[in-house]
Structure 1
Amino acid sequence: MITKVELEFLVALQKNNNREWFAAHKKEFQSHEKKVKSFFKEINDDLEKLDSIDKMQVFRIYRDVRFSKDKSPYKNHFSVGFSRTKPLLRGGYYLHIEPGASFIGGGFWDPNAEDLNRIRKEFETDDEEIRAIIADPTFQKVFGELKGDELKTAPKGFDKAHPAIDLIRKKQFLVSKSFTDQEVIHPDFKKEVLATFQAMRPFFDYMSDVLSTNLNGESLY
């Protein structure tokens, strides 16, 4: 499990985000990283019993500062992503551990142009099923609403007066749930992570069906 010690290290790193401090505390970091990776692996193993996972990606602590105004060399969080097995299963799970800002996320962060158009066409044709999913009490309780960047107006080729334009305008299709530090270090946190991932499944399974078929419902694979 994640403990207060890991969170305290991340707080210290945030206050001392420089190479000198990190070098002096690298062995401590490696110890925390090993423990966190073990926790992520346990989640992956349990998630594989519930879904078909193609890969687990533990993100490195080092920031890519080439195109960023913030030149801090290190992230102040631990994070991991779990990708579902394509092409029939779509969507990805994400876990972010950061003092005061931990959360679980998932969905479709940067769909390619073809997938994005296919999703919009589905919403244009019939938005009843997706609306039922995002209005479901469990979805509402866990995630609140469907999130993601969106256009200010209708995308090219779509009617701005369409009843589903609120969905059609979206460029991303994301869900998330925040956790307090106390929740993160609680012994049941892993159970909560898996339950949150499971709550994404109706949304993921719907989107997978859309992205693996044409508008006539015929399989593409």
Structure 2
Amino acid sequence: MKSLSKSILDYLIDLKQNNNREWFTENKSRFEKEQKEIKSFFNGVKNELNKIDNIEKLQIFRIYRDVRFSKDKTPYKTHFSAGYVRQKPFLRGGYYLHIENNASFVGGGFWEPNKDDLLRIRKELAIDASELRDIVESADFKKYFGILEGEELKTAPRDFDKNHPNIDLIRKKQYLVTRRFTNKEVLSPNFEEEVVATFKAMRPFFNYMSDVLSTDLNGISLY
């Protein structure tokens, strides 16, 4: 199991305080050193995750911000992050790992489901949400994530009853889970193990959503 060096967080702290191209260029060798270590860590997580899942792609996000449509013109992100894409079409849901001073977390789920997938999920929940409720109310889910998160509509989506008993789940636009980590936890020798264990705890939720999104309302496979 790999562990992370304190120098990674130190670099991100300094970058946040000096978020400009001049400082970044002057400290390019330092960035390259920390980037090499974090990439190695992200790949190590992928290797461990592939022992319990099928990962189609590791996406390591660039540190450069897209400022074209943002009021915040600082050029660099102050975190390192990566996404782990599961093998489609049968395996749905994505894993996300975010390393930032005092703001590190592991996340997963359905950030921007397309309109067809979102409608399919909502229709399933309108018929029966008991399986999903059992998952999010389980002791293991609460231990790692607490609650099911995500943005939601203020009222019912079109063609759904606002008084439906499952409207709290139906009106969601995102279905997400998150576990946050302190700096001490991030730098601990077993951090990689904890990350993978957290991803593993998402599996019942992912398995449910995968079953829903790979079948029609009669439970017949779409593929």
TM-score range, shorter chain: over 0.9
Any idea what the Cα deviations from partners look like across 1:24-75, whole Å, max 9, x if unmatched?
0001100110011001111101111110100000000000000110000000
Q: CA deviation at 1:153?
A: 0.3
Unaligned ranges ≥5, structure 1: none
| Residue aligning to 1:193 | 195
Matched, 1:134 2:113: no
Letter in 1 for 2:4: I
Trace 1:63-102 onto structure 2 (pairs within 5 A).
Answer: 63-102=65-104
User: For the aligned residues, what is the CA RMSD?
Assistant: 0.4
| Residue aligning to 1:7 | 9
| Distance (whole Å) between structure 2 residues aligned to residue 3 and residue 70 of structure 1 | 29
Alignment TM-score, normalising by the size of structure 2: 0.99
Alignment TM-score, normalising by the size of structure 1: 0.99
Any idea what the Cα deviations from partners look like across 1:78-103, whole Å, max 9, x if unmatched?
00000000100000000000000000
Matched, 1:205 2:207: yes
Any idea what the Cα deviations from partners look like across 1:110-139, whole Å, max 9, x if unmatched?
000000000000000001100000000000
Letter in 2 for 1:87: P
| Distance (whole Å) between structure 2 residues aligned to residue 141 and residue 46 of structure 1 | 22
Unaligned ranges ≥5, structure 2: none
| Residue aligning to 2:41 | 39
Q: CA deviation at 1:2?
A: 1.1
| Residue aligning to 1:162 | 164
Letter in 2 for 1:67: F
Would you say how many aligned residue pairs link Structure 1 and Structure 2? 221
User: After TM superposition, what 4+ stretches of structure 1 lie above 3 angstroms from structure 2?
Assistant: none
Question: Sequence identity of aligned pairs in percent?
Answer: 62
